[in-house]
Structure formats: structure tokens, C-alpha cells
Amino acid sequence: LNEFEAIRRISGRLPDPPPEVIVPIGDDCAVLRFGDALWVVAADMLIEERHFRGSWATPEDVGYKAVAVNVSDVAAMGAVPRFVLASGGAPEAETTLRCMEGVLEACEEFGAYPLGGDTTGAAALTVDVAILGQLAHAPVLRSGADPGDLLAVTGELGASAAGLLALENGETAPERLIKKHLRPEPRVTLGRAAARLGASAMIDLSDGLASDVRHVCEMSDVGCCIDLGLLPVAGDTREYALSAGRDPEILAATGGEDYELLVAAPEEVVEALAAESEVPVTVVGQTTRGRVEFVRDGKPVENLSGWDHFADA
């Protein structure tokens, strides 16, 4: 049983949605119509020893990241974050409070207003954030990709995974990579621009490109071909991966927690997006009428897989 089977089992039991529901469970966010406006909602939970270790993430980091990963889900619909609810628990009240300080810091950073939540005791530091975002354009769903769309990613891949490797090795450098892991930068401006420009499909890269592109392809009923040689992998990421005995492109495709966006769109939309964005937009492949394929140097790469939410960290 993995998370996607769980969602399928759960969503198979749902009654018909009320009229406000434009998009139900199954995308980065659900979409609701309240009056004239479209809103998106999502939630994500972080738990010590599953998503982070207390030895390398401060409670503030954890609270900050819990908001950032939800903001990333909002960005992946083309929406902007507006309101947050945060529930947290830890063995010490002071730890819970420090985690909530991180929540507030992120709310300030991303322009979301905290509406409350819950605090409790817990054996392991735990924080769950629910978020409300607002759309100015039609939402960009996972299901809208057409065969022949370009597949582009924002920013860079693998930096967070390399930072995680460093943390797991007990290191405090490279600092840039570690910061990428602990304090992700969700792509709100870029996601909104993609919605305005008419991207076909979008998802945020939380489980890793290899896994997340499958969700887009399955829901859009398309295949794809991704060239690992095209992935935007920074020099320091590449260097650290190699020093740790890891293949940089495989790490970038499967490491997860990039919190970049994967955009499927016609060529002219990708070009317009790249032209107006301060963050790099890199074409890494294309959707097809075939199956999901990864290649490098013209040869197929098999067995790339991503994160299973039920497995241990």
C-alpha cells in the first residue's frame, strides 16, 4: 500500500462533492469556488525521524519548511498563499513554540496569514500545516498535459537531495545545499505566471521528478521522454553528489524535495515563461503518446523511482 493507492481507496468512497468543489482530492490542491473567487486548499505534515532529524533541523526550520512545502502545493496550482492553520507538538512546550515561530517566519516570507491551529505534547516533533491559497486565473491541473507539450522545470534539481546527504553525513557544508534542503523556496511568482500564460499542466517536485512526472502523465493520459542530461544540476550539487559516490543526474531525478515546479506547456508558453521569469526555466523533455521514459546519452534509463510517503525517511 502506498500513498497513491491510499488516495484511490479513499477517494473511491467519497460522496458527490458540494457545488463549491471545482477540483476534488487528487491534485496538488483541491479547488473551491467561494463567491466570485477560486480558492485552493491543501495540507502537509512533517514528523521528526520521518522527514527530518532533530540533530540537524532546528524546530524553527521544521515549522518554516512545513509552511514552505504547502506554499509549493499552492504555487503548483498557479495560486498565491493567503491563510495558514498550523498544528504542532513536541516533548517540550518550548520546542513546539519554536516550531510555531518558524511557521510565522514563513508566513511572513510568503505573505500568508496565520489563522490558528493547535498545540499539544508529542513524543516526536510533529507539525501539520493546512493552507488556503487564492487563484487569479484558472487553476493549472496535473491532468491537462497534451502530447507534444514541452516539459520544463524551474530553478535547479538535486540541490536539496545533496544537502540532505550532507546532513545525514553529519556535515555542516556545503551550506547552500543544506539551506536548500531546510528552507525550500517555493515558486509562487512563477506558478502564477504559468497559470496566466496558459500552461497545460503543473505539479510541484516534492517526491522527485522521476516520480512526479508520472503523476502528470497518468492523470493527463500521456507519456513522456525526459533527458537526464538536460536536468539543471548546479556545480556544487554535482560535486557533492560525486564526492558522496552518487550519480548527480540520478540524484537530481529521484532525490525529491526540490519544491521546484514541473510545467507542461506548448513551446511558446514555455518561452514566454522563461522570458519573464527571474528563475531559470529549463526544458528537460516532452510529453508523448507513448509511455514514461527517461534517457541519457540517447540510452534508456530504467527503474527510476521516487519517494513513498508510507516508507521510513
Interface contacts to its own copies, rule CB under 8 A? 1-3, 6-7, 9-10, 13-15, 17-18, 20-21, 24-26, 29-30, 32, 34-37, 39, 41-45, 47, 49-51, 82-83, 85-89, 93-94, 96-97, 100-101, 104, 108, 113-124, 126, 128, 130, 132, 309-313
Shortest distance, position 122 Cβ to its own copies, whole Å? 5
How far apart, in Å, are the Cα atoms of 282 and each of 77, 268, 275? 19, 14, 11
Q: Please, what is the minimum distance in Å from the beta carbon of residue 291 to its own copies?
A: 27
Cβ closer to its own copies: 48 or 249?
48
**Minimum CB distance to its own copies smaller for 124 or for 173:** 124
Q: Which is nearer to its own copies, 9 or 291 (CB)?
A: 9
Q: At closest approach, how far in Å is the CB of 181 from its own copies?
A: 18
Coil, helix or strand at residue 186: coil
Measured from the CB atom, is 176 or 309 closer to its own copies?
A: 309
Give me the least distance between CB of 294 and its own copies, in Å please.
Answer: 27
Those residues whose C-beta lies under 8 Å from the C-beta of residue 51, and which sit 6 or more positions away, are 313
Write down the least CB distance from residue 63 to its own copies, Å.
11
CB of 31 closer than 8 Å to CB of 78: no
In angstroms, the CA 176 to CA 160 distance is 9
Burial of 151 (0-12, 13-18, 19+ CB in 10 A): buried
- At its nearest, how many Å lie between its own copies and the CB of residue 248? 28
Contacts of 302 (CB under 8 A, 6+ apart): 294
- Dihedral, CA atoms, 269, 73, 156, 292, nearest 10 degrees? -70
Handedness of CA 77, 78, 83, 84 (dihedral sign): positive
Question: Taking a C-beta distance cutoff of 8 angstroms, is the pair 25, 42 a contact?
Answer: no
Our CB check for its own copies shows the closer of 16 and 278 to be 16
From the list 68, 26, 75, the residue with the least C-alpha distance to 204 is 75
Directed axis angle between helix 267-276 and helix 188-197, to 10°? 140
Minimum distance from residue 100 beta carbon to its own copies (Å): 6
Specify the residue, 32 or 152, whose C-beta has the smaller distance to its own copies: 32
Cα angle 210, 213, 216; round to 5: 155
Cα–Cα distance measured from residue 300 to residue 27, given in angstroms and rounded to the nearest whole number: 29
| CB-nearer residue toward its own copies: 29 or 284 | 29
- Please state, as a whole number, how many other Cβ atoms lie within 10 Å of the Cβ of residue 265: 28
Q: Which is nearer to its own copies, 49 or 168 (CB)?
A: 49
> Smallest gap, in angstroms, from Cβ of residue 85 to its own copies?
4
